[in-house]
Structure 1
Amino acid sequence: MPLSVGDTAPNFTVKDTIGKTVSLSEYAGKPVVLYFYPKDDTPGCTKEACSFRDNYEQYLSQGITVFGVSLDDEASHQQFTEKFNLPFPLLADVDGAIAKAYDVLTERNGTPYAQRVTYVIGSDGKIAKVYTTIQTDTHASDILAEMGA
């Protein structure tokens, strides 16, 4: 069961698409959308990433940081980012520590992956919204609409 609204978002430190170290604590006081997805360059995950890409300017204009998280490594994230021109960082949760902390780590046929769950983290560091039912091609715009953006 994913974390709940009102829970404090677990901090993490991990490498992003370009090998930069990212910690959630660096974004204290700012809203963050943290979306977990199973695998780079698969049909549903590509639709979801492109949904955030196509709405990214709106997120920026609202002061919202977007991070995609999967268990793929930096090289996979780099290829996925370049192939689909993704303007936001993907976090390389290769050991599944972030997915585990956010209670979205699962496995299929012995292969671990992150379930498709999105957390909106408020500027207070608490989880403001949890999305577990996701329409991949409209997810990013659905979040913005619900936020009144």
Structure 2
Amino acid sequence: MLNKGELLPDISLEDQDGKMVSLTNFKGQPLVVYFYPKDNTRVCTAQACGFRDHYEEFQQAGAEVIGISRDSSKSHKKVANKRKLPFILLSDPKKTALSAFKIPSTLFGILSGRATFVIDKDGKVAHTFRADFNADQHIKQALKVLKSF
């Protein structure tokens, strides 16, 4: 995984609305980028809803939240609408972001790993967190780091 102090990768992916989003467009503000294995699974849904439920706190800290998985933008659109997610979901079917962030796979390479990165306003990694089945901790850790800025 990317380490503390490394720069945010300069990549662009399609969001849930079919628009291309460049991560470097967020330079100048804190950013929370979280990777999750699959839309509409129990732990991933709990994680997305957790970020949704705390989204106002992230916004108050000046941060944007972006979720990334290998699912299609169409799948992301369905889950964003169903769960009323206020943040961006990016589609990474070619594993561009997964490779750039050096996210290890799980379950014999079948699923993408779960990881969260807090990026500071200079575009550098301030914190990383990985726990495949404890999605709630990703939110708590990210908020704690953002409040320390």
Tell me the TM-score normalised to structure 2 length.
Answer: 0.90
- Asked whether the 8 Å contact 1:55–1:141 carries over to 2, the reply is no
Runs of 4+ aligned residues of structure 1 deviating over 3 Å after TM superposition are 107-111
For 2:122, the equivalent position in structure 1 comes to 124
What is the Cα deviation at residue 56 of structure 1? 0.4
SS of equivalent to 1:137: helix
For 1:29, the equivalent position in structure 2 comes to 28
Q: Counterparts of 1:1-149 in structure 2 under 5 Å?
A: 2-106=1-105, 108=107, 111=110, 113-133=111-131, 135-148=134-147
What is the Cα deviation at residue 106 of structure 1? 2.2
- Asked whether the 8 Å contact 2:61–2:147 carries over to 1, the reply is no
Show CA shifts across 1:41-65 (max 9, x none): 1011001000000000111122101
Q: Supply the AA of the counterpart residue of 2:128.
A: V
Distance 2:40 2:76 in 1: 9
Distance 1:97 1:137 in 2: 26
- Asked whether the 8 Å contact 2:105–2:112 carries over to 1, the reply is yes
Q: Which runs of 5+ in 2 are unaligned?
A: none
What is the Cα deviation at residue 30 of structure 1? 1.1
Query: Size of the alignment, in residue pairs?
Result: 147
Distance 1:107 1:141 in 2: 23
- Asked whether the 8 Å contact 1:38–1:116 carries over to 2, the reply is yes
Tell me the TM-score normalised to structure 1 length.
Answer: 0.90
What is the Cα deviation at residue 109 of structure 1? 5.5
Show CA shifts across 1:101-133 (max 9, x none): 11115264663x421010111111110000013
SS of equivalent to 1:5: coil
Q: Which runs of 5+ in 1 are unaligned?
A: none
Distance 1:74 1:140 in 2: 23
Please give the root-mean-square deviation of Cα atoms over the aligned residues, in Å: 1.8
Q: Supply the AA of the counterpart residue of 1:121.
A: I
Show CA shifts across 1:16-71 (max 9, x none): 01111100111111111000000001011001000000000111122101000000
- Asked whether the 8 Å contact 2:34–2:68 carries over to 1, the reply is yes
- Asked whether the 8 Å contact 1:40–1:77 carries over to 2, the reply is yes
Distance 2:8 2:108 in 1: 29
